Amino acid sequence: MEEWSIKQWQTYASSADITAFYLYTPMCGTCAVASKMMDVVVELLPNVPIGMANINYTNNLAFDLEIESVPCLLITKDGKVTEKVYAFQSVTNLYAILKK
């Protein structure tokens, strides 16, 4: 999974039907587990643009989008955030959410 800036995420979100933007912090143990799950999801869904960003470097994104905690997966459809996933239950669950 590649690191995206907010601008890159906005570009992908406006040009693709669906995108996912994974937000994390480096010292978060749950984020480390979620990152491994997301690596598998990226391989399963090669046609879905999926990027990641350290939320500490995303300026006011957490405030603007009312991010409650990390890890957080922002899902956009047609350029708008439609879902925020905080519970990374399993690869199967994440796959199903992105395939909807």
Amino acid letter, residue 13: A
Q: Which residue range forms the structural domain that includes residue 34?
A: 2-99
Overall number of domains in the chain: 1
Confidence at residue 59, expressed as pLDDT on a 0 to 100 scale = 80
Give the domain CATH number at 92: 3.40.30.10
Per-residue pLDDT tens digits for 42-91: 999 999 999 999 999 998 999 999 999 999 999 999 999 999 999 999 99
Alpha carbon 100 to its chain's center? 15
Q: What is the pTM of this model?
A: 0.95
- How far is residue 2's CA from residue 89's CA, in Å, rounded to a whole number? 22
Confidence at residue 54, expressed as pLDDT on a 0 to 100 scale = 97
